């Protein structure tokens, strides 16, 4: 589970490859949206995917989570091809994500929102649910305990019965991460978790991502906040017009002329100075 000793978890298979993206391409009838994308994701590291609007980041994320199927290439999870799997099948394999736009159920409590992400692990049948058998009650108790622990883990120290509409926007972002963690993922994909957040809320997201990596969760971060990306990433893939134009450490990427020209634009030199660690 997530909530083990961070140091111990970080040491476990920290540099093992969990995902390999090989020659990935995607077309929707016109020019390729993605073209020959390849990279590896190492266990327990933070991998960011950046690029200007229209670079293909969301399409890539949707392929990694089974929403889209690649036109060419493969995505391997622990060496097995996951390209044809549906989202619920990938979730059962330990792949989870959040979305750029909030997907919170406001008519449910914060605890119930987290429990939505746990349904794949509730091993009870129809009869057990109808008869309220002890196995059903035990699973429910364990799930409720986990939900409260995950709320604490993401920094939401609130009444579990609280409705989400009482939370700030930044807290709602962390609630979504708690729900994504409820399925006990090995690979967590975060789609712009800092969008719309103030600097303090962004710092809380940064610390949370760092804690996840310490727990040996592999994080894929799609984000426009360059300060966050440069401060939290182990590896960065830079995309432009559906192609990978650079990959490497934050320091390497920040100094890459192609990245400065394609992503940072006309004011690249100034922004480069601001985001270089």
Predicted confidence at residue 12, as pLDDT, reads: 44
SS3 content of the chain, % helix, strand, coil (to 5): 45, 20, 35
Round to whole Å and give the CA distance between 87 and 90. 5
Predicted confidence at residue 270, as pLDDT, reads: 45
Cβ–Cβ under 8 Å, residues 118 and 182: yes
Average pLDDT over residues 123-130: 52
Q: What angle do CA 74, 76, 80 make, to 5 degrees?
A: 115
| Least confident stretch, 38-47, 217-226, 266-275 | 266-275
Predicted confidence at residue 123, as pLDDT, reads: 56
Closest residue by Cα to residue 178 from 135, 219, 208, 140: 208
> For 150-180, how does the pLDDT look when each residue is reduced to its tens digit (9 = 90+)?
999 999 999 999 999 999 999 999 999 999 9
pLDDT of 131 higher than 90: no
Cβ–Cβ under 8 Å, residues 58 and 233: no
Q: What is the number of other CB atoms lying within 10 angstroms of the CB of residue 226?
A: 19
pLDDT of 117 higher than 70: yes
Round to whole Å and give the CA distance between 159 and 109. 9
Round to whole Å and give the CA distance between 221 and 49. 6
Average pLDDT over residues 138-157: 90
Average pLDDT over residues 108-114: 95
| Least confident stretch, 1-10, 23-32, 55-64, 211-220 | 1-10
pLDDT of 9 higher than 60: no
Predicted confidence at residue 136, as pLDDT, reads: 63
Cβ–Cβ under 8 Å, residues 218 and 18: yes
Average pLDDT over residues 230-235: 96
Higher model confidence: residue 266 or residue 262?
A: 262
Most confidently modeled range among 74-78, 115-119, 269-273: 74-78
Alpha-carbon dihedral angle through residues 79, 184, 89, 235, given to the nearest 10 degrees? -50
pLDDT of 133 higher than 50: yes
Q: What are residue 76's phi and psi, to 5 degrees? A: -105, 130
Predicted confidence at residue 261, as pLDDT, reads: 87
**What domains lie within the chain, and their CATH numbers?**
6-94+185-275 (3.40.50.300), 109-184 (no CATH)
Q: What are residue 214's phi and psi, to 5 degrees? A: -65, -25
Q: Where are the beta strands (DSSP E) in the chain?
A: 17-26, 34-42, 46-50, 72-77, 80-81, 95-97, 187-191, 218-222, 235-240, 243-248
**Which pLDDT band holds residue 263 (cuts at 50, 70, 90)?**
low
Average pLDDT over the chain reads 86
- Cα 135 to chain center, whole Å? 32
Alpha-carbon dihedral angle through residues 277, 214, 223, 48, given to the nearest 10 degrees? 80
Round to whole Å and give the CA distance between 156 and 163. 13
Predicted confidence at residue 275, as pLDDT, reads: 45
Which DSSP state fits 84? T
Higher model confidence: residue 9 or residue 198?
A: 198
pLDDT of 266 higher than 80: no
> For 16-67, how does the pLDDT look when each residue is reduced to its tens digit (9 = 90+)?
789 999 999 999 988 999 999 999 999 999 999 999 888 999 999 999 999 9
Enter the tokens of residue 142.
Answer: 């364990």
List the end-to-end C-alpha distance of the chain, in Å, as a whole number: 32
Cβ–Cβ under 8 Å, residues 87 and 67: yes
């Amino acid at each position: 589970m997530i909530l083990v000793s961070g140091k111990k978890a970080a040491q476990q298979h920290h540099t093992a490859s969990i995902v390999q993206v090989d020659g990935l391409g995607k077309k929707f009838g016109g020019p390729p949206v993605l073209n020959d994308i390849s990279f590896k994701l190492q266990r327990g590291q933070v991998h960011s995917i950046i690029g200007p609007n229209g670079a293909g980041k969301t399409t890539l994320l949707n392929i990694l989570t089974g929403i889209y199927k690649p036109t060419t290439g493969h995505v391997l999870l622990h060496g097995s091809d996951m390209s044809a799997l549906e989202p619920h099948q990938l979730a059962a394999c330990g792949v989870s994500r959040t979305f750029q736009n909030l997907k919170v159920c406001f008519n449910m409590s914060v605890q119930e929102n987290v429990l939505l992400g746990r349904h794949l692990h509730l091993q009870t049948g129809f009869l057990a649910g109808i008869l309220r058998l002890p196995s059903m009650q035990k699973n429910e108790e364990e799930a409720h305990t986990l939900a409260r622990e995950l709320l604490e883990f993401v920094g939401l120290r609130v009444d579990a019965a609280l409705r989400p509409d009482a939370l700030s926007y930044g807290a709602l972002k962390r609630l979504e991460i708690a729900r994504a963690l409820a399925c006990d993922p090995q690979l967590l994909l975060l789609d712009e978790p800092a969008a719309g957040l103030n600097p303090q809320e962004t710092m809380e997201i940064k610390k949370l991502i760092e804690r996840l990596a310490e727990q040996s969760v592999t994080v894929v971060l799609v984000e426009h906040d360059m300060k966050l990306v440069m401060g939290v990433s182990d590896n960065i893939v830079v995309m432009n017009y559906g192609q990978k134009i650079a990959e490497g450490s934050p320091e390497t990427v920040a100094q890459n002329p192609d990245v400065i020209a394609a992503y940072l634009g006309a004011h690249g030199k100034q922004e480069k100075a601001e985001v270089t660690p």
